Amino acid sequence: MIQQILFALVAIVAFSWGGRQFLKIRRNIMLGKDTPMVNNSGARWKNVLLIAFGQKKMFKRWIPAIFHLFIYVAFLFTQIELIEIFIDGIFGVHRFFAPILGGIYTFLISSIELLSLGAFIGTLVFLARRNLLKVPRFHKPEMNGWPKLDGNLILYGELLLLLGIFCMNGADAVLQQVDPQHYTSTGATALSSWMGPAIFGGMEQGTLVGIERFGWWLHIIVVFAFLNYLPHSKHLHIFLAFPNVYFAKLQPKGQMDNMPEIMNEVKSMMGLGPEGAEEMPMDEEIPEFGAKDVMDLEWRDVLAAYSCTECGRCTSVCPANITGKKLSPRKIMMDTRDRAEEIGKKLDTGSVEFIKEALRASEKTLTKTNFDDGKSLFDSISKEELHACTTCNACVEACPIMINPLDIILKLRRYEILTESAGPSDWVPMFTSIENGGAVWQVPDDRDAWAN
Amino acid sequence: MSSINVPRMADLAAAGKKPEILFWVGCAGSFDARAQKVTRAFCKILNETGIDYAILGKEESCTGDPARRAGNEFVFQMTALQNIETLKLYEVKRIVTTCPHCFNVIKNEYPALGGNYEVVHHTQFLQELIDTGKLKIDGGAFAGKKITYHDSCYLGRANDVYEAPRSLLEQLDNELVEMKRCKTNGLCCGAGGAQMFKENEPGDKRINIERTEEALATGATIVASNCPFCLTMLSDGMKAKEKQEEVMVYDLAELIVNNKGWE
């Protein structure tokens, strides 16, 4: 009875606290502007099936893909055991599904055990890749500090989860022999039926019960801990990868989004506008183009930033990064997420000091529309990084969950050029040549002189 | 250079004629000395195979690709809308271009501005000529030679065209050796995103050098490309590596002209 009450209490705290964190993430994602109507749900579900569920793009690099697959499939399957843990925890029963499912239960638990073994090996391999093998993409400057620790903490957490499962099932296998009345037979499971007796055989019944309970509680406590850790971690990808893939752009990668507001302005300048088209109202503030901050991005860009698990495949294929430039597409995503977090935290304070100075007199409630803390994405993303991008789409192609760093880079470039009228001075002659001469270079020859 | 007979859209229109396809030359193809050779080579193929085509000539403008990617939407819109007006005037339906940047912008980005055309890259068009029997190529000069193929970002990843250029090379009967990074994983030459028009950001190396080294590692004596900017970048890379005498960088159209002896 005490265990039941304890379990219920822990569950309630974990869910309510975790739920609050997830709602904040949702709020932060929605700081972004509306994403244009998302159409073609057929193709989108297909992507979710193949790329998110099926991990198709992970297999561009098959070694990490296989170990990741172990951990991923183990995670999916363990949800079945988790359901049972919940039922057992709340109703104070033991292995609720065992008598109901019979042979199927033996099969399910065996599968979970084998997958867990695979996940255990996978986790050790990943720890080694991060800490011993020094895979270059895990050691870029943006990975220093918290991101590195985060990556390791997740793997340690996974080891604890698996340790819990092994203790629980192993001790249980021995208890089934010692005390068959209280411990329902699970049948001969793949691992615990022989590993249990091999490790825990001959122990006192009290000790065995202790080990079994320790494993059970360890597993569920770590699950709850993960639930609350996820919102602060790159590990959030286990949930957000799915919506991110669903909402990812379907158009050809080379296609940049049009800016209708500028198109219409230019059309009316050129006398091409539809009848009665109005020019941009001049009395209003000069409009801002491109993106300066999270609020200027689409919410799907922010969703992508929160979905990023910092694997660095994008950065490892970026031609600029490969040749020693500062640009790292992963850093663009991390900076976007961190800025969204920063804005979220400041909004939580509700402090009027974060209201735009001009509006402070009239507006008393801090919202995302009147927010201004004097900072922007440009505080963490330098112009040097943005200018180094060749728009080659290698990062977009490399991302296993269809994150598009290029989208954000191009929006920031648009801000720099259109709103700030800044940018590399080398580009100015190119712009003027196109504007005045219709060619990227200022050339005295006729455009068709090559034929003469 | 000897003059080459290239029909202009305006002349045809004056004679009341409308060609089947417009050849979009692009800025590099029009003004860059190296890329002009590709333009001429492609025109030779069009002439020899009797294609009913024309160019816009002086009426063509930059598609706006580098301006848009640099972030200058105003300049992009001005030149793009101007081009769309010109294309409307001549009722252009189908366009072929030797530049994958022009290809991408006209195909994918002009529709949002009101310009809808069927756009093919010249490597696709050449494959089409072979498929329809208008162009026949056999091994000849390139038989057995080691050639490597550089995927341009804007034909490859941006538009998923990987096979047509490779199939052309196959028909030239040479030994195609792929670079370590190819197809979807191909490495950029370093020119895209308006990089062509500015100095590099500080780093260890130029991107074209990295790519040139990868091409050299294949042991190929010919690097085939499909983009005037890649052509410049890789040729410069070969010069920097002092390999310009041993390893030639050619556009696919030039390889075909060479092969046919249409020089």
Q: What is the CATH number of the domain that holds B107?
A: 3.40.50.1860
Chain A CB contacts of B77 under 8 Å are: 259, 262-263, 265-267
Task: Determine, for residues B71 and A267 on separate chains, whether the beta-carbon distance falls below 8 Å.
Answer: no
Using CB atoms, which residue from B73, B81, B112 is nearest to A272? B81
Whether B205 and B221 map to the same domain: the answer is yes
pLDDT digits (tens, 9 = 90+) for A53-111: 999 999 999 999 999 999 999 999 888 889 999 999 999 999 999 999 989 999 999 99
How high is the pLDDT of residue A275?
55
ipTM field? 0.96
pLDDT of residue B262: 87
Rounded to 10 degrees, the C-alpha dihedral A427/A430/A434/A439 comes to -150
Instruction: Write down the pLDDT at residue B169.
Output: 92
Asked if A256 lies within 8 A of B77 by C-beta distance, the reply is no
Is A305 contained in some domain? yes
Does any CB of chain A come closer than 8 Å to the CB of residue B12? no
Which CATH number does the domain housing residue B154 bear? 3.40.50
A274 occurs within a structural domain: no
Give the Cα separation of A412 and A423 in Å (integer). Answer: 11
> What range defines the domain where residue B28 resides?
9-128
Nearest CA in chain A to B71: A414
- Using CB atoms, which residue from A390, A410, A413 is nearest to B188? A390
The predicted pLDDT at position B141 comes to 76
pLDDT at B140 over 90: no
Cβ separation B70–A325 shorter than 8 A: no
Query: Are both B142 and B248 inside the same structural domain?
Result: yes
Query: Is A245 in the same domain as A198?
Result: no
Structural domain count of chain A: 2
pLDDT at A278: 55
d(CA A279, CA A364): 34
Residues B154 and B190 in one domain: yes
Distance from the B38 Cα atom to the nearest Cα atom in chain A, whole angstroms: 11
pLDDT of B120 > 70? The answer is yes
Name the strands in the sheet holding B94-97, side by side, starting at the edge strand that comes first in the sequence.
B53-54, B21-24, B94-97, B118-121
| Cross-chain CB nearest to B207 (options A253, A323, A451) | A323
Q: In chain B, which residue's Cα lies nearest the Cα of A313?
A: B185
Chain A contact for B55, CB < 8 A? yes
Do residue A212 and residue A242 come from a single domain? no
Phi, psi of A229, rounded to the nearest 5 degrees: -85, -35
Cα–Cα distance for residue pair A445/A428, rounded to 1 Å? 21
Please give the Cα distance from A81 to A89 (Å, whole number). Answer: 12
- From B253, B229, B58, select the one nearest A390 (Cα to Cα): B229
Residue B25 domain-assigned (yes or no)? yes
Do B161 and B122 share a domain, yes or no?
A: no
- First and final C-alpha spacing in chain A: 96
Q: Are residues B169 and B115 in the same domain?
A: no
Q: Looking at residues B139-157, what average pLDDT do you find? A: 90
| Chain A residues inside the 8 Å CB shell of B85 | 272
Half-sphere exposure of B137 (CA within 13 A, CB side): 33
The CATH number of the domain holding residue A391 is 1.10.1060
pLDDT recorded at residue A36? 82
| Beta-bridge mates of residue B95 | B22, B119
Cβ-nearest to A391 among B62, B69, B209 = B69
Same domain for B149 and B248, yes or no, is yes
**What gap in Å lies between CA A391 and CA A406, rounded to an integer?**
7
pLDDT tens for chain A, 452 residues: list them.
788 999 999 999 999 999 999 999 999 999 999 988 778 999 999 999 999 999 999 999 999 999 999 999 999 988 888 999 999 999 999 999 999 998 999 999 999 999 999 999 999 999 999 999 989 999 999 999 999 999 999 999 999 999 999 999 999 999 999 998 889 899 899 999 999 999 998 899 999 999 999 999 999 999 999 999 999 999 999 999 999 999 999 999 999 999 999 999 999 999 887 655 555 555 556 689 999 999 999 999 999 999 999 999 999 999 999 999 999 999 999 999 999 999 999 999 999 999 999 998 898 899 999 999 999 999 999 999 999 999 999 999 999 999 999 999 999 999 999 999 999 999 999 999 999 999 999 998 999 999 98
Q: How far apart are CA A23 and CA B213, in angstroms?
A: 50
Put simply, the answer to whether A319 touches B187 (Cβ < 8 Å) is yes
Domain of residue A322: give its range. 235-250+287-419
Per-residue pLDDT tens for B35-77?
A: 999 999 999 999 999 999 999 999 999 999 999 999 999 999 9
Kindly state whether residue A430 falls inside one of the protein's structural domains: no
Give SS3 for B65: helix
B206 contact A CB<8A:
yes
